[in-house]
Amino acid sequence: MSKVNYGIDAPSIMRNLIFFGGITIFGGIFIQLFLNNVILLYLSYLIILLGSVFFILGIAMFAYGMTGKYRTRDLMLSKINWNGNENVLDIGTGQGLLMNGAAKYLTTGKSIGIDIWSSKDLSNNSITKTLENAE
């Protein structure tokens, strides 16, 4: 049995934020180093700031995907007074993060997940991966 992996959320958005953030930062630095114009110098600070925001957002999305979503799931599920006989429906289950977390609280109840399993929304998203994570 392999280690449970619930994938990376919105991988293309995260990749684009990191990539374009980095390119924008380097563009701003390039302007500062090689172009001798006062207006462009001030504009470069804004460009670097904007690139830094994109880059940091991309890194934050990655960090949340690695650890934050597990803590959020656990906190959310801990707020419910479980009896063990509930029926849970996880709409947009992805690779089963919430569905499997809820299933751990159930004794006779059922946890069911449905999704369109789009890999553009979640890396390696498929019903096969969801079933593997449920084992």
Q: pLDDT for 59-114, tens place per residue?
A: 999 999 999 999 999 999 999 999 999 999 999 999 999 999 999 999 999 999 99
Q: Which DSSP letter does residue 122 get?
A: B
Q: Angle formed by the axes of helices 11-34 and 38-63, to 10°?
A: 150
Q: Report the chain's C-alpha Rg in angstroms.
A: 21
Q: What spatial distance separates the first Cα and last Cα of the chain, rounded to whole Å? A: 8
CA–CA distance, 10 with 95 (Å, rounded to integer): 13
The model carries a pTM of: 0.80
Strands 87-91 and 110-114: parallel
* Predicted local confidence at residue 13, as pLDDT: 94
Q: Is 43 exposed, middle or buried (0-12, 13-18, 19+ CB in 10 A)?
A: middle
Tokens (6 digits) for 135:
């084992």
Give CA angle at 67 (76, 6), nearest 5°.
85
What is the pLDDT confidence band of residue 2, given thresholds at 50, 70 and 90?
low
What is the CB neighbour count within 10 angstroms for residue 122?
Answer: 23
